[in-house]
Structure 1
Amino acid sequence: MLKVIVVDDEPLARRGMLVRLADFPELEIVAECSNGEEAVAAIREHQPDAVFLDVEMPGLDGFGVLNQLQQQQIDLPYVVFVTAYDHYALSAFEVQALDYVLKPVEKERLAAAVSKLTKNFAAKDHQRHKGQLAAVVAQLTGEKTDQILQRLDQSQPVMNERFPEAISIKDSGEITRVPVSAIDWVDAAGDYMCIHTRDGQTHILRRTMKELEQELDPKLFVRVHRSAIVNVNTIAKLQMLANGEHQLMLTNGQAVKVSRSYKDRVKMVFNS
């Protein structure tokens, strides 16, 4: 529901507006004010989403209310001016009022103003949520907020796919960070993974093949067997053996068997 304040120095007009606005379940009246000073105080206290604001009031008029809010650095709600005089219309829109309704207020005209209010609030609220989401994602990823907002505006995934640049491996009280780009291939040995790197070393990692596969960028690594993953940049060629099976030859001379269930994945590497 949108929180609303009604401001009018005429009790009968104010009461009439309250009765009419009660027909709109999306609105919640949080205060009614009989003059501009009360309006400023109520807006500061309740922080409403919208104000139905009379223009001509003794002392502080409707435009004076907006001026006071700006001087006190109070967030401006949406403003719908309500007055018996149409010559205020231009001034109302110059101060960025959402709408301008003439007295006596007609039911259809008020409904149009409320519809405009709810649509604008929904758009503003959506934008606010996008900003909050972008701020959270930026904090998590270190990416710039405006880049995240641009993806949201283009209905693209909010987060770019990010994979770790290195894998931490614990061994004998030490933790070694192995750069992912240095991994040639991985094979399973029981409950352990053997990570073979470009410098000829083999690191032992206690993790399942499925867990490791999810951490590796599928653009750079391909599962070739239920117990083997290969860095696509290390693949030299695909060979068909005499028994009809396939194997990969890596640039380091290592041969890695390709199982039938993963053969199509491997062929996609050569077709890309």
Structure 2
Amino acid sequence: MKAALLAKPLSFAHVEQIAQQFDMPDLTLPFWGYRKKMPMHNIVRLEGEGNYTVFHFADGSRLMVSLTLKKMESRLSPKVFVRLHKKNIINLLYLEGVHPENSFPGRPQLSVSLVNGDRVEVSRRKASRFIKQVKGFQQEVVQQKTEAIANVLAA
């Protein structure tokens, strides 16, 4: 597995365009006494902290919500969000690279780097599924680009 698995990272404008094509709705998050809608495509990753989830957004801000990561996972788009580990879910729109690491001889470990500079380990049990999801996501993005170009040419 090489970091070359991925094409170059997407720009923020491109992220918004692709997010529209994946039909990513806003995510309603509970706060003290009220609820707030957040655009799902602005979430770079989610990190579990016990019964709380920390959201890491594209603008660098963070937000803690009193819901578990498992509960949040069920509300996210499965085409774009991938659970790497028991504590982390990432948005594939912000994936910069996949990196093999040989921490233990004969037991390779994967990690991913995100556009915001975060680096997250991939659980060995989830690694093969993660790679399949990344390849499927890339094929979907390429297919959508091809269809968009065909629509422009047909017009």
Q: Please state which band the TM-score falls in when normalised by the shorter chain.
A: 0.5 to 0.7
Structure 2 alignment gaps of length 5 or more: 1-22, 137-155
Residues of 1 paired with 2:117 and 2:87: CA distance? 19
Determine helix, strand or coil for the equivalent of 1:248. strand
Q: Among residues 100, 108, 129, which one is paired with 1:240 in the alignment?
A: 100
Aligned length: 111
| Pairing 1:184–2:44 present | yes
Tell me the secondary structure at the aligned position of residue 78 of structure 2. coil
Counterpart of 1:259 in structure 2: which amino acid?
A: S
Equivalent position to 2:120, from 246, 256, 262: 256
Asked which structure has the greater CA Rg, the reply is 1
Structure 2 letter corresponding to 1:193:
T
Superposition RMSD in Å: 2.0
Instruction: Indicate whether 1:267 and 2:131 are aligned.
Output: yes
What letter matches 2:102 in structure 1? Answer: A
**TM-score normalized with structure 2 length:** 0.64
From 45, 51, 55, the counterpart of 1:195: 55
After TM superposition, the runs of 4+ consecutive aligned structure 1 residues lying more than 4 A away are none
Distance 1:168 1:214 in 2: 13
**What does residue range 71-220 of structure 1 map to in structure 2 within 5 Å?**
165-220=25-80
SS at match of 2:127: helix
Paired residues of 1:238 and 1:247 also in contact (CA < 8 A): yes
1:93 maps to: none
Tell me the alpha carbon deviations over residues 208-234 of structure 1, each in whole angstroms, 9 at most, x when there is no partner: 222211111111111111111110111
The letter for the 1-side match of 2:132 is: M
**Cα offset, 1:197, TM superposition:** 0.9
What secondary structure, in the 3-state scheme, does the structure 1 residue paired with 2:102 have? coil
Q: TM-score, normalised by structure 1?
A: 0.38
Q: Is the 8 A contact 2:52 2:64 kept in 1?
A: yes
Larger relative strand fraction: 2
- Go from structure 1 to structure 2 and tell me whether the alpha carbon gap of 1:173 and 1:236 turns closer, same or farther (over 3 Å shift): same
Higher RCO structure (Cα 8 Å, ≥6 apart): 2
Give distance in 2, aligned partners of 1:216 and 1:226: 16
Q: Distance in 2 between matches of 1:212 and 1:170?
A: 11
